[in-house]
Amino acid sequence: MSSISNTTNLNVRVDSTLKEESDMLFKNLGLNMSTAINMFLTKCVKTSSIPFKIEEPKPSKELKKALKEVDYMMKHPDKYKSYNSVEELFEDLDSDD
């Protein structure tokens, strides 16, 4: 680790809730934010990698089903009601039909 005279500042924008939760976690682990970030960066450099798996999230079965349904609806608009305005939609919803 470098000495205090050989340090530089790093400004990072994070969600305020994430920062608060991180501060609490690191405090419970006996660390502060600077130490935790330095640990992360040191691990990255030593392993020449990100020290955790990064992957594209996979859609759930429900989302896949919903996307298929939307795709079908887009390809067959004649089978579904459509509206020209939100007011028209609400009028239809309020009707007794």
Residue 54 lies in a domain: no
For residue 54, the number of C-alpha atoms closer than 13 Å in the C-beta half-sphere is: 3
Q: Identify whether 24 is part of a domain.
A: yes
Start-end of H helices in the chain: 16-28, 33-47, 61-75, 86-94
Together in a domain, 9 and 33: yes
Residue type, 12: V
Domain span at 16: 4-47
**Domain annotation covers residue 37:** yes
Q: The whole model's pTM is what?
A: 0.54
Residues 10-19 pLDDT 10s: 999 999 999 9
User: Residues, the chain, total?
Assistant: 97
Backbone angles phi, psi at 31, to 5 degrees: -120, 165
* Tokens 């609490």 found at: 24
Say how many domains are in the chain.
2
56 occurs within a structural domain = no
Condensed to tens digits (0 to 9), the pLDDT of residues 30-69 reads 999 999 999 999 999 999 999 999 888 899 999 999 999 9
